[in-house]
A and B are shown apart, each in its own frame.
Chain A
Amino acid sequence: MPHSKPASPDLHSAPAPDAPPLREIVGGYDIDRLPIHVPRFQDESLEGWLRRLSRRYQVTPRDVLTHLGVAPHPQALPKLEILTAHHPEAFIQAGLEPETLPSRCSPSEPPSPRSMRTSPWESWDCRGPGGAAPHDSAHAV
C-alpha cells in the first residue's frame, strides 16, 4: 500500500518549549453513569428494562429513578415514555442507548405536568409499535 507524504509540521500551533508535556487522557466517558450496565433488549419495554435494572441493583424501580434525579411523584406512578423524553440524559446515564429513547415510546402529545403522572392504581402501559402491550410491563414502582 503506497504511503502518502506526511504533512509538514504546523510550527505555529506547536507548544512552547517550556510548556508542560501533554498527557494522554482517555475521554468521552460519563463518570456519573450507573457503574453496572444493564442493556435494554430489543423490543423490551422501558418498564421491563427498568425492572431488570433495579433488580440488578437490588433496589426498587422508584429508587433507581430517584437516584437518577428523576424523582417520581410520591402518589403516582411515572409514565416512563414521558420521563425518558424529558430526562434523556438521566436515562442515558442509566444505560439506555440514546438512539432508542425517542423511537420506542414517544408521547403522542406534548407532555404537561399533569400528564407526567398516572393514578396509583393504573399500571404502566408502554405499547409497542403494533399497539400491543409488552408482556413484562411493570406493575409497581
Chain B
Amino acid sequence: MAANDTHRYQLSRKAGWDAFVNGSPRPDFAVLTLEEMAGLPDAELEDYNAARDVWNTNPPTVRTQQLDAAYRIIGEVMASNHRDSDKLRGSVVIDAEPSLGKTTIATRYAQWFHRTTYRRYGPTTADGHQRLPVAFIPLTAGITLKGLNQKLLEFYQHPAARRGSRTELTSLAIDCVTSCETRLIVIDDLHFIDFAHRNGTEVSNHLKGLANELPVTFIYVGVGLREKQFFDEGMLGEATSYAQTSRRATRCPVVPFRIDNDAGMRAWVMLLTTLERHYKLAAARPGMLTDHARLLHTRTQGRIGSLANILDRACYRAILDGVECINADLLSAVSVDNAALQASVA
C-alpha cells in the first residue's frame, strides 16, 4: 500500500524536483474480479480500493498532439541553448487557457531535459558544484522582484534565501544558476504578475536581465499572457515596438481537443483509448470511454484537465457504488469543475 500511495514532493525545491525527475513508476498490481473482491476481509478491501483510487487518479502523461506540438516549439527554442554565453537565448511562453495541460507540458519536458543532462554530464560540475540543470519556480500573487529572487534561491536551498537585500539576492541567484550550470528555468503561473503595475514591470525587467546575463533558456507558463501584455511589457500603442520580450519570446499555444472534424475526433478517441486501458475497475471493458466520446467532450469541452477530473471522479464513484465500470450514467452524474459545468450547460 505504501508503494502505491500518493507521491508528495514539492517541485519548487531541488529535492522535490529531483524526486519528481527520478521517481520510479508506481508499481502495478493485478485487478481483482468481483468474486475475488467479495472474498477479501473488510480492511484489505478498503486498502485495495484506496490503492486503486491512487492509481486511477494518476494516469500516465499521454503524448497528445498538443504535447507533440509544444515539444517541437520548445525543442526549436532550446536549440539556441547551444549558443555561446555571449549571445542571447530565446524563451518559450506556454500561453493558454486553464486546464489544457500547460504545466504538465513544461514539467515533462524539463524532466526529460534534466535526465538527459545527468546522463550526459553527471550530478556534479567540473568545479564540484551540484549540477542542477533545471529550476522550477512557481510564482505567487503580487510577487516582487525580491520575492522572485528568494523563490529562485529557495529552489537551490540556499542558506541566504530569506536574508539579504534585493541586490544581494540577485547576485546570489546568478551565482547559483551559473555555478550549478542550470540550463533551463521554468517560471510557472506567470499570470500572477500584473505587467501594468510597477512591481510587475520590475519583475518583467528582472527576468529580461536574468535572460541577458545567464546562459539559460526560460520557459514561461501562464494563462492569457498575451492579453495581460506580457509580450508588450505593459506598453501601449506604438511603444509596444520597443518591447524586447516580444522579439525574444516564442509563444507556444495549447488548444483544447475539437471533435468537429475527423482528425480532431480521431485524436480525442485515441486519447480516450489510451486512458481507458489505465483504469483498474473490475468490470472495465474496451470502449468504456470511447463509447461516450461525445458526452465526455460536451462535459469537458475537450480540456485535458477537466477530462482528468471527471474520470477521477467517475472511477471513484464506480468503485464506491460497486458498478466497477464507467458508463454514461456515471459520467452524467459526477460533478465537474465549475468552468466545465458552466460551459456544458451554456
Interface residues of A (CB under 8 A from B): 20, 23-26, 28-29, 31-37, 39, 56-59, 63-64, 67, 95
Q: Is B145 an interface residue (CB 8 A)?
A: no
Q: List chain A residues, Cβ under 8 A from B159.
A: 34, 57, 59, 63-64, 67
- The verdict on A24 contacting B15 (CB below 8 Å), with A35-B132, A58-B172, A59-B159 known, is no
Chain A residue, CB-CB nearest to B118: A26
Please state if A36 and B179 are interface contacts (CB–CB under 8 Å): yes
Distance (whole angstroms) from the CB of A43 to the closest CB of chain B: 19
Q: How many inter-chain residue pairs (CB < 8 Å) link A and B?
A: 65
Cβ of B168 within 8 Å of any chain A Cβ, yes or no, is yes
- Of residues 119 through 178 on chain B, the ones whose CB sits less than 8 Å from some CB of chain A are 119, 122-124, 127-130, 132, 156-160, 163-164, 168, 172, 175-176
B128 touches A35 (CB 8 A): no
- Within 8 Å by CB of B158, from A23, A28, A35, A37, lies A35
User: CB-CB < 8 A to B115: which residues of A?
Assistant: 23, 25
A37 touches B130 (CB 8 A): yes
A sample of 13 more A-B contacts (CB under 8 A), given A26-B123, A31-B15, A35-B180, is: A28-B123, A31-B14, A33-B130, A35-B132, A35-B158, A36-B175, A39-B128, A57-B158, A58-B168, A63-B159, A63-B160, A63-B163, A67-B159
A32: B residues at CB distance < 8 A: 15, 157
Chain B residues with CB under 8 Å of A95's CB are 128
**Complex Cα gap A63–B160 (Å):** 8
Closest Cβ–Cβ distance, residue A31 to chain B (whole Å)? 4
Instruction: Give the distance in Å from the alpha carbon of A99 to the alpha carbon of B127 in the complex.
Output: 19
Can you list 10 A-B contacts with CB-CB less than 8 angstroms, sorted by A residue number? Answer: A20-B28, A31-B15, A31-B130, A33-B130, A34-B159, A35-B132, A35-B180, A37-B129, A58-B163, A63-B160
B25 within 8 Å of A (CB atoms): yes
Q: Size band of the B side of the interface?
A: 20 to 34
Cβ of B6 under 8 Å from chain A? no
Decide yes or no whether B335 CB sits under 8 A from chain A: no
User: For residue B159, which residue of chain A has the nearest CB?
Assistant: A67
Given the known inter-chain contacts A31-B18, A57-B158, please indicate yes or no for A36 contacting B176, CB distance below 8 A: yes
Determine if B168 and A35 form an interchain contact, defined as CB atoms under 8 angstroms apart. no
Among B156, B159, B160, the one with the most A-chain Cβ atoms within 10 Å of its Cβ is: B159
How far, in Å, is B233 (CB) from chain A's closest CB? 30
Q: Check if B241 is an interface residue, CB within 8 A of chain A.
A: no
Distance in angstroms between the alpha carbons of A37 and B132 in the assembled complex: 13
Within the complex, the shortest CB–CB distance from A137 to chain B, in Å, comes to 22
Q: How far is the CB of A97 from chain B (nearest CB, A)?
A: 10
**Contact in complex: A59, B160 (CB < 8 Å):** yes
Given contacts A35-B132, A37-B130, contact A57 B172 (CB under 8 A): yes
Cβ-defined contact, B129 with A58, below 8 A: no
Q: Report B-chain residues with C-beta under 8 Å of the C-beta of A35.
A: 14, 129-130, 132, 156-158, 176, 179-180
- Interface mask (B176-194 → A, CB under 8 Å = 1, otherwise 0): 1001100000000000000
Q: Which 4 A-B pairs have the closest CB atoms?
A: A37-B128, A29-B123, A67-B159, A31-B18
| B157: chain A residues within 8 A (beta carbon) | 32, 34-35
**Alpha-carbon distance A33/B131, docked complex (angstroms):** 11
List, in ascending order, chain B residues with CB within 8 A of A28's CB. 123
**CB proximity of B304 to chain A, nearest CB, Å:** 24
Q: Does B332 contact A (CB under 8 A)?
A: no
Q: Is B85 an interface residue (CB 8 A)?
A: no
Cβ 8 A contact of B119, one of A24, A34, A59 = A24
A33 and B129 CA atoms in complex are apart in Å by 10
Contact in complex: B180, A36 (CB < 8 Å): yes
B193: min CB distance to chain A, Å: 26
B104 close to A (CB within 8 Å):
no
CB of B153 to closest CB in A, whole Å = 10
In the bound assembly, the distance between CA atoms of A4 and B225 in angstroms comes to: 62
What is the chain A residue whose CB lies nearest that of B27? A20
Minimum Cβ distance to chain B for residue A91 (Å): 14
> When A35-B156, A37-B129 are in contact, do A26 and B122 touch as well, CB less than 8 Å?
yes
A25 to B157, CA, bound (A): 23
Chain B contacts for A67, CB-based, 8 A: 159
- Contact residues in B for A20 (Cβ distance below 8 Å): 25, 28
Nearest chain A residue, comparing its CB with the CB of B165 = A58
Closest B residue by C-beta to A56: B175
For residue A130, give the distance in angstroms from its CB to the closest CB of chain B.
Answer: 29
Question: Which residues of chain A are within 8 angstroms of B244 by Cβ–Cβ distance?
Answer: none
Interfacial chain B residues near A34, Cβ < 8 Å: 130, 157, 159
In this complex, the member of A20, A35, A59, A64 whose beta carbon has the largest number of chain B beta carbons within 10 angstroms is: A35
